[in-house]
Structure 1
Amino acid sequence: MTESLNKTVNVREGEELDSHLIDNIIKEHIGGLEGTPTIRQFASGHSNLTYSIQYPNKSLVLRRPPHGTRPKSGHSMIREYSVMNALKPVFPAVPETYFHVPDEGSPLGAEFYVMEQVDGRKLDRTIPASWGFGEEEGRKLCLSFFNKLIELHQVDYEAAGLGDFGKPEGYVERQVTGWNRRYERVITDDVEDFADVRKWLEDHMPPGEVGHAVLHGDYRLDNVILCEDNPFEIKAILDWEISALGDPLMDLGNTLAYWSQPGDPDEMIAMCMQPCMAPGMLTREEICELYAEKTGYDLAKFDYYLVYGVFRLAVILQQIYYRYYHGQTKNKAFAGFGGRTNQIGNYARLLIEKSGI
């Protein structure tokens, strides 16, 4: 089975790269490259711009922030470059990184970095029928996926050299208040302010944190590369731009905010970009049981973390929509994101009603 699921497209209008400039920059840092590169853009992803840089003898990836207004702490290339560098020796499921160019003096007008292009399988909404997966295989893939997140959360980040990667204490409060402020800055005329959801999150923060760990921040099935010969093995985890040190239940909440299951609102299922409803996939409740069993953490109040993750997703989409609304990006795929923001915010309200907190 040799299906290419990590699809590339022609570079979108307004997001072009100068191939001669890129060639010169890369060859200054990486030796042994032959010829000139072919540059295409990865079809997936709505945030940072990710390019496939193909030389005849080597495949690379270039990552840079989007054009237009960006949140001050978002889209940090040095953050994901640094965390991957530090994790690689102790947590191999990250791509190899080659070099980073900061904002100041960048020939692209923004910071960027270059890493290896990891070969393998990348999933989207469904598992290809040609894989022949039934319930047993779906469950095995799901367990592999969540066990890898647990493995990340159990990394000794001090020993990995990430002790100064951030301040883990007080992470929950900083995240909740921070995402609330970000939402306030990007409200447009066609979305609700969701003041009630934001207040609930601030009023019901847990009194303490279960522990501290490396958090990916955007862990999804469509953000991993699976091994070509063994699709149950996660070869690389991508998109580390909002990784941090903090309460691991916040990371699990973020991940399960993307996770749909039977009984969810139709609009949330329709937005799902990963095969979480394939035969054999675990429910959110089963995933929480697995996580609690493997980590020993108390997930009795997990509803709070799920609401946080859901509303954070609404903020992320609204930040992207804000750039489209104000003409800072021409990507028409973002035109409906304001409507999605409203749908996700209303889903957070529904989860609050059901939580009993």
Structure 2
Amino acid sequence: MTAVPDQARDVRDEDAFDIARVDAFLKQHIDGLEGMPTVKQFPGGASNLTYLLGYANRELVLRRPPRGAKAKSAHDMLREARVMHALKPSYPYVPAILAICDDAAVIGQDFYVMERLNGTILRRDLPAELGLDRDGVRRLCLAFVDRLIDLHRVDTQQPALRELGKGEGYIARQVAGWSERWRQAATEGSDPCEDVMAWLAASQPPHDNASCVIHNDYRFDNVVLAPENPLDIIGVLDWEMATIGDPLMDLGGSLAYWVQADDDKVFQSFRRQPTHEAGMLSRAEVVAYYGKRSGLDVSRFGFYEVFGLFRLMVIIQQIYRRYALGQTNNPQFAGFGDAARYMGMRCRRLIAAEG
């Protein structure tokens, strides 16, 4: 099996930055960099932006927030770097942090630079070059879930990790916080979704299931597969929303992106990872497997699934609001308002199924 490395592309005009300033900063903090770097941009980037810096003797990855308005606690590059640095000794799949910049004079925003993990990042479809049959796809899927379970088993009593969260009450804080974000992200014609938020508030469990490190954006396009063996996950990326919280909330957030082969055509159009492939577990199978391996009670997972979709709806609407206000002209965001409305309807279907 031969993997295809993730490909960076030309930088979008609105996402460009002063390369010379970044180069000067990095050469003050990282020894041995040679020449002036080429700069490419990785696909995606609906939230934070990720770039490949190609020096003559080394490749690095830079992460920075987008321009324009943002939620109060979102896009915090300094916190993301701190989380990664604190987690690295316990969870080897975290890329090493090499430099952190909080000087606005460099590019006008905080950013950090990390090691480049060479490997494959899966996008919408599974590359044929991976050579995975149905059994191989299943083993990849199980490895993906296993890495999340590994994360949830990290010892949170370590001082560097303990300070990342606020303790008991995570579920309640999330329901209240994301409901408020939804109201703040409203645009003309958006769905108020007051009924969905009322259901979440009334249906939330009285206590957290556990308190562990959670990723909060765990998807196939945030993991790196080894180039020599695509069944080997060598890295987990995008730690912006990581914290100490409830593990089933993390799983619910991950499954919000899990579009399977028998989903309706609208949801199929949103698919950004190959979870529809023959051999992939269904959402229900993922939940059952997670419950068996983790030992947690997943018999009433409906709340977590609805919340995961609701949170994704808020994220989509926040991005659409930036587009509607003219803070970004990226054409891929033009349909996000319709996507958010669909997510509201999908939440209601799941709520109705819960009885």
Same fold (TM over 0.5): yes
Aligned to 1:290: 289
Partner of 2:144: 145
Cα deviation 1:15-45 (Å, max 9, x = unaligned): 2111111110110110101111001111123
Other-structure match for 2:92? 92
- Which residue matches 1:21? 21
Deviations 1:196-216 (A, max 9, x none): 111111111111111111010
C-alpha separation between the residues in 1 aligned to 2:5 and 2:278? Answer: 20
Aligned to 1:238: 237
Task: State whether residues 79 and 242 of structure 1, in contact with CA within 8 Å, keep that contact through their aligned partners in structure 2.
Answer: no
Q: Which residues of 2 match residues 250-329 of structure 1 at below 5 A?
A: 250-329=249-328
Deviation at 1:160, TM superposition (A): 6.6
CA distance in 1, matches of 2:299, 2:205: 11
Counting only pairs closer than 5 Å after superposition, residues 184-203 of structure 1 correspond to structure 2 as: 184-203=183-202
* 1: CA distance, partners of 2:62 / 2:206: 41
Q: Secondary structure at the match of 1:107?
A: helix
Residue type matched to 2:127 in 1? Answer: P
- CA RMSD across the alignment: 1.3
The residue that corresponds to 2:175 in the other structure is 176
Give secondary structure in 1 for the equivalent of 2:12: coil
Unaligned segments of structure 1, at least 5 residues: none
| TM-score under structure 1 length normalisation | 0.96
Which residue of structure 2 aligns with residue 80 of structure 1? 80
CA distance 1:3–1:227, shift in 2 (3 Å): closer
Q: Residues 106, 200 of structure 1: CA spacing in aligned structure 2 closer, same or farther, 3 A cutoff?
A: farther
Q: For residues 220-235 of structure 1, what are the structure 2 equivalents within 5 Å?
A: 220-235=219-234
Matched with 1:135 is: 134
Q: Structure 1 counterpart of 2:91, which letter?
A: F
Q: What's the secondary structure of 1:262's corresponding residue?
A: coil
Q: What are structure 2's unaligned runs of at least 5 residues?
A: none
Whole-Å separation in 1 of the counterparts to 2:5 and 2:256 = 24
Once the two structures are TM-superposed, the CA of residue 340 in structure 1 deviates from its matched residue by 0.6
Tell me by how many angstroms 1:105 deviates: 4.0
So what's the TM-score if we normalise by structure 2?
0.97
Q: Which residue of 1 aligns with 2:206?
A: 207
Q: Residues of 1 paired with 2:200 and 2:105: CA distance?
A: 39
- Alpha-carbon distance in 2 for matches of 1:90, 1:295: 18
Contact 1:95 1:238 in 2 (8 A): yes
Identity between Structure 1 and Structure 2 (%): 45
